[in-house]
Amino acid sequence: MKIKRLGWAVCMSALIGVSAQANDKQPNFLIIMADDLGYSDLGSYGGEIATPHLDALASEGLRLTSFHTAPTCSPTRAMLMSGTDSHIAGLGNMAELVQPFQVDQPGYEGYLNDRVASLAEVLQDGGYSTYTVGKWHLGRSEELSPKARGFDRSYILVQGGASHFDDQMAIISVDPKAIYREDGKQVSVPDGFFSSQFYTDKLIEYIEADRRSGKPFFGLLSYTAPHWPLHAPDEWLQKYEGRYAAGYEAIRQERLARMKQMGLVAADAAANVPMQGVLPDWEQLTDEQKLREARSMEVYAAMVDNMDHHIGRVIDYLKQTGEYDNTFILFLSDNGADGNSPLGLPGNDVWMKEAFDNSLENMGRKGSYIDYGAQWAQVSATPFPFFKGLTTQGGIQVPAIIRHPTVSKPGSINNEVAHIMDVMPTLLDLAGIQPPPGTFRGREVAPLQGVSMLPLLQDKAMPERAIGWELFGRKALRKGDWKILNMSAPYGNADWQLYNLADDPTEATNLAASQPGKLKELLGDWDEYVARNNVLSGEFNIRYGFETCLFEYCFK
């Protein structure tokens, strides 16, 4: 073990040296996070949605095909900000859905706790200007805001989602008003607000105000697109009219064909669609249902296209200021596509009917509240099974693009296994900043669990390790090409399943019976993961994420 660690340190030292030789300045860091974007939505990942600016980043950098997050948003954000597991960082469960057996337990506080050092705090102490705009979802109060966790400037949405317009409607009936904070203080959004445009404006404003300071910057641009409610400006809505009239399967097969042409999946790959035969296919829908389903996907596509447009504005700004080639850019989604209905949130079934105009003519416009449903989410997840909230690849494997001049093979596809916990050690490596040595700002902090992704930039292998997931009692662990998975009904039978993802990336063939030795090995790794991260077991009593319905059809 000591020899392996020494070899890894020598490799990392060499890679950092490559970066330092390429540019003596500390690099800027820009993390762009989409909210609930599916694996195959971007043009560079096989999608039909126009995303030219992200596709250009991919052509200059790396497309990662095995990058993983948590199954939902706030646990992912906790791991991004801490470099360690969400059960250590305070988001062992989402704050809104904490269960009685998790209350007051360490790691289940529902906010980014003080037992971790945040990425922004460490970079701030290392001489960086630090900014975040958009979704926070790591604490509601001023004391838990970005200002208190290392960000010099911030303008954030406190909750997990909200209207993308200036009406400030939130997404759940029991908490119906969206809360925004600028530099910790509660504010109201201005008239004419649209989320993706406003967040982009704010980030550019913050960077520009400090540009002559000579300090490098860390910017976290957390869009709330394309999280429901699905909204887009009218000129973007018009662009996709009629594009989805052919229905789910036609679009899925179009995407799969492009993915094969791009080399993202094998030539013989088939999509795994486990809810097929229970949820309705396109021909089972009425004409009115088809219109609504097609319109929902049009709005979703418009949101993604619009987000890409604003990402292009940030990239243009970096080029105009001469900072583009000194900026490490990471784009990713916070989890898989969302096929969970907001009707499952407490009180929403009544509230959404009474408080919003969801007529066909108003879908996607101000005053509406729609999602795009489980069938379109499964298309967004192509070729993987299921979606957000589940520990299948459709819930935890996301599009991720890295752009930096030190990428040795620009435009390439990288299949190495990486994880959201790896972002913090990667940025610290590039900045030449040591992780906190057990104490930070006068308090004890947990060590990083992630590892640096610098090998990816040089087309080198990442170290093999066991990575675990648990959320809502759904479990998974991956080591190398092997993965174990355990989910309760209706998404599984609560037995451990075993998959070889090298041969079976869509988790179609369970090898638990034929490979008992490998199953036993990974179950031992699972027990170690549980003990290391204080993962608690118990009964979950929530509706959201535990049934999947579309019109009168339900998978439950």
Residues recognised as catalytic: 73, 137
Which pair of tokens denotes residue 447? 């060590």
Which amino acid is residue 379, in one-letter code?
V
Distance from the Cα of residue 76 to its chain's centroid: 7
Question: String of b and e for 414-450 (b: at least 16 CB within 10 Å)?
Answer: bebbbbbbbbbbbbbbbbebebbeeebeeeebbebbb
- Asked if the peptide bond before residue 490 counts as cis, ω within 30 degrees of 0, the response is yes
Question: Is 270 in contact with 385 (CB distance < 8 Å)?
Answer: no
Question: Is 336 in contact with 394 (CB distance < 8 Å)?
Answer: yes
Q: Are strands 482-486 and 439-440 parallel, antiparallel or unpaired?
A: unpaired
Best CA proximity match to 525, nearest among 462, 453, 455, 475: 475
State the SS3 of 209-234. Answer: HCHHHCCCEEEEEECCCCCCCCCCCH
Number of C-beta neighbours around residue 238 at 10 A? 11
Best CA proximity match to 84, nearest among 420, 462, 430: 420
* 169: β partners: 177
* 327: β partners: 28
Question: What span, in angstroms and rounded, lies between the C-alpha atoms of 537 and 152?
Answer: 38
How far is the CA of 539 from the CAs of 70, 225, 340, 471, 472, in angstroms?
20, 32, 20, 12, 9
